[in-house]
């Protein structure tokens, strides 16, 4: 697909975000590519005509997002229904989802404008919190939905069903329900597996379970999970992608299933997923002799 319009989104709390986005705007202008700005960064840069993220997603061929993973997650939840490709420019310190580094912006976009790029569709999860017959909240996540005890020094009881079948009642600090994309986020810190992000799978990972044999479970992506809170003291907290939180009361039920929407990420033209993983997690240094021989072939 030829890219004629690009939308710019940025975390305006990041230093030099205006400098970086303005520089990109100038370069794209020379390439005869029309640039539209999301309203927050447009206001910060003093540019008129900024539009909402949702409107931007319906108008452009590509979204360029400056920030960290949190900015990508916020953007993904807002634009998933439109299927617009997203390329992340890393202004943070870690950034699994922002695959392009600052010093690679021009070279990466040069290739993207030439059509020399690949995208990857990442599954999302729909989350519904109900109290009796009343829906308290609903939303989609790219990384995870987390039910935890908040600041209280006690465990919570979470009765869990998968596809209508009782699994167990977790007595734990909480429960992480994650996508493969989110497997390198909170779930990884809680001892969960790393799952290749292109898979359609759901990871169920208890946080510090009282029963030590409660281990992470990987389910097919089309399974439906139901989690009921039975702790009677002060409830718990449901957090979506680490950004939106809701209070959960005893008896509330949380339903989690694969969303019909996806997040379409543009892959880095400069490195593979495995290279990103090695870099972010500090895995092994130089390749073995076998690796060197393969490169020489």
Q: Which residue among 26, 40, 69, 252 is the active-site one?
A: 69
CA 124 to chain centre: 8
- 38 neighbors 65 (Cβ within 8 angstroms): no
* 40 assigned to active site: no
Task: Name residue, tokens 């009642």.
Answer: 169
Distance from C-alpha of 281 to C-alpha of 278, rounded to nearest angstrom: 5
Distance from C-alpha of 113 to C-alpha of 244, rounded to nearest angstrom: 35
With b for 16 or more beta-carbon neighbours within 10 A and e for fewer, the 45-80 pattern comes to bebeebbebeebbeebebbbbbbbbbbbbbbbbbbb
Q: Which two tokens stand for residue 12?
A: 């305006």
With left for phi above 0 and alpha for psi between -120 and 50, is residue 150 left, alpha or beta? left
Question: What CA dihedral angle connects 190, 275, 11 and 64, to 10 degrees?
Answer: -130
Catalytic residues: 69
């Amino acid at each position: 697909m030829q890219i004629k319009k690009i939308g710019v989104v940025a975390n305006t709390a990041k230093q030099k975000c205006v400098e970086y986005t303005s520089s990109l705007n100038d370069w794209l202008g020379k390439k005869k590519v029309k640039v539209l700005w999301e309203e927050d960064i447009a206001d910060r840069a003093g540019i008129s005509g900024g539009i909402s993220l949702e409107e931007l997603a319906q108008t452009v061929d590509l979204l360029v997002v400056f920030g960290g993973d949190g900015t990508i997650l916020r953007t993904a939840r807002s634009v998933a229904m439109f299927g617009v490709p997203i390329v992340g420019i890393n202004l943070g310190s870690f950034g699994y989802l922002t695959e392009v580094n600052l010093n690679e912006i021009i070279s990466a976009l040069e290739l993207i404008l030439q059509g020399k790029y690949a995208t990857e569709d990442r599954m999302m999860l729909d989350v519904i919190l109900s109290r009796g017959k009343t829906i308290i909240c609903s939303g989609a996540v790219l990384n995870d939905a987390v039910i935890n005890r908040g600041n209280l020094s006690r465990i919570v009881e979470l009765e869990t069903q998968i596809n209508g079948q009782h699994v167990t009642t977790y007595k734990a600090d909480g429960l992480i329900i994650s996508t493969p994309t989110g497997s390198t986020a909170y779930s990884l810190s809680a001892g969960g597996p790393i799952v290749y992000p292109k898979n359609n799978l759901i990871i169920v990972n208890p946080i510090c379970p009282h029963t030590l044999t409660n281990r992470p479970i990987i389910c097919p992506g089309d399974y439906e999970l139901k989690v009921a809170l039975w702790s009677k003291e002060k409830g718990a907290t449901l957090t979506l992608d680490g950004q939106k939180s809701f209070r959960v009361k005893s008896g509330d039920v949380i339903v989690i299933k694969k969303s019909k929407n996806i997040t379409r990420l543009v892959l880095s033209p400069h490195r593979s997923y495995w290279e990103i993983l090695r870099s972010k997690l500090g895995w092994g240094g130089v390749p073995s002799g076998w690796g060197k021989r393969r490169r020489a072939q």
